Structure 1
Amino acid sequence: MTGVPASATGGTGRPTPRGKLGAAAVDQASLWNIANILTMIRLVLVPAFVVLLLQDGGHDPAWRAWAWAAFAVAMITDVFDGHLARTYNLVTDFGKIADPIADKAIMAAGLISLSALGDLPWWVTAVILARELGITLMRFWVIRHGVIPASRGGKMKTLAQGTAVGMYVLMLTGPLATLRFWVMTVAVVLTVLTGLDYVRQAVVLRRRGLAAERAAAERSEAAAR
């Protein structure tokens, strides 16, 4: 036992140069950077949000206000953790996996809870969640050909969904209740339209990737002759 982690020896049993060992130590410590901490907070807020929302049968205005506060904090951390990670080079493998999980978890928790309480039609929840799951699977489907970037429409969709769900969490009445209906309508429309656009991008990306692979194979065959 040398006391040096296998990752720091490169798997050879010999310690790496000091500079590389230092870099490895920095990489390990980077797991606890501010961006990842915000993501972890958002993950913790998911069950807390659900518990607050469902207190006293789910129809107590005070508990709903606390639930809205938890949801709002989660949405705010979603804005800042990605920005901080990109700006200060704090991107980690943990963040790449946990950030989208936290995003979808808080939104799914809100939609399902609101539908279970009878405040939001189940078909709205089904459309939004089916779109999110479908796009996630589609990203994996084409990942070897490239990455589908987040579009401006996708960001608007996320903003509309967050705003609409937040308004439904609050027990609004009168004109505000009417307004939240239309905000949710916009969110659903953007959800469908951006989903169709992602499908188009995925098909184009896959076709280009397959064409590039065929061209590379033909060049290899020609060079081997």
Structure 2
Amino acid sequence: MNIANFLTIFRIILIIPFIYYLKIPNNEYTAFIIFTIASITDFLDGYIARKYNLITDFGKLMDPLADKILVFSALIIFVELKYIPSWMVIVILTRDFLINGIRNLAASKGAVIAAGMSGKIKTTTQMIAILIIVLLGNSNISEYIMYIPVFFTVYSGLEYIVKSKKYFL
């Protein structure tokens, strides 16, 4: 196992203590630190894999999956704790399922659709919003902060659909 793949697995493992500390009152700083470390591993594993030519099939599959598990774990707990409304999570989840379906359709036709800049912005705004909300907790501001990643989620999803329309025919 190479270091990039190790970091991906480590990110998945960090989800457990993140959720644990997020749900315990007055442990938001610990949850914040854990999520920050997990977010940094997201950047590092891809950087290391590209720089040192350590790209593997495992990494191609598990890296985006680890990101989704990390983000959705936080968002689901936020709904449970009443930090954000559930419709926001449903919008983000729907976009991801839709894009995965389009990617599978394109792959069945021998094409690979690379992630665009708007998708990277979506992921970045999701992670930043999660970090801010971890610190704010159940605040009126938490919901408003989530509007930013929700906007980029919808925008990047629509952009992806437009770029991929040829695979629908």
1:34-69 per-residue CA deviation (whole Å, 9 max, x = no partner) reads 1111101101011221111112xxxx23x1211111
Match of 2:163 in 1: 201
1:154 aligns with 2:119: yes
How far does residue 114 in structure 1 lie from its aligned partner after superposition? 0.5
TM-score normalised by structure 2 residue count:
0.91
Q: Where do 1:56-135 residues align within 5 Å?
A: 60-61=25-26, 63-135=27-99
1:45 aligns with 2:7: no
1:142-167 per-residue CA deviation (whole Å, 9 max, x = no partner) reads 11331111111111111111111111
Match of 2:128 in 1: 163
SS of the residue aligned with 2:55? coil
How far does residue 117 in structure 1 lie from its aligned partner after superposition? 0.7
Structure of higher RCO (CA pairs closer than 8 Å, 6+ residues apart)? 2
1:34 aligns with 2:13: no
Alpha-carbon distance in structure 2 between the residues aligned to 1:172 and 1:52: 13
1:145 aligns with 2:110: yes
Alpha-carbon distance in structure 1 between the residues aligned to 2:129 and 2:84: 11
Alpha-carbon distance in structure 2 between the residues aligned to 1:79 and 1:114: 24
1:185 aligns with 2:150: no
Residues 160 and 183, structure 1, Cα contact 8 Å, conserved in 2? no
> Structure 2 stretches of 5 or more lacking a match?
none
TM-score normalised by structure 1 residue count:
0.70
SS of the residue aligned with 2:148? helix
> Structure 1 stretches of 5 or more lacking a match?
1-31, 211-225
**Aligned partner of 1:121: which letter?**
P
SS of the residue aligned with 1:170? helix
1:6-26 per-residue CA deviation (whole Å, 9 max, x = no partner) reads xxxxxxxxxxxxxxxxxxxxx
Task: Please say which structure displays the higher CA radius of gyration.
Answer: 1
Cα root mean square deviation, aligned = 1.8
Match of 2:100 in 1: 136
Percent identity of equivalent pairs: 38
SS of the residue aligned with 1:70? helix
Residues 163 and 183, structure 1, Cα contact 8 Å, conserved in 2? no
SS of the residue aligned with 1:142? helix
How far does residue 181 in structure 1 lie from its aligned partner after superposition? 4.5
How far does residue 173 in structure 1 lie from its aligned partner after superposition? 8.6
**The 10-residue stretch of structure 1 (94-103 or 106-115) with the greater mean CA deviation from structure 2:** 94-103
Alpha-carbon distance in structure 1 between the residues aligned to 2:91 and 2:135: 22
**Aligned partner of 1:96: which letter?**
K
How far does residue 128 in structure 1 lie from its aligned partner after superposition? 0.8
**Aligned partner of 1:49: which letter?**
F
Residues 36 and 131, structure 2, Cα contact 8 Å, conserved in 1? yes
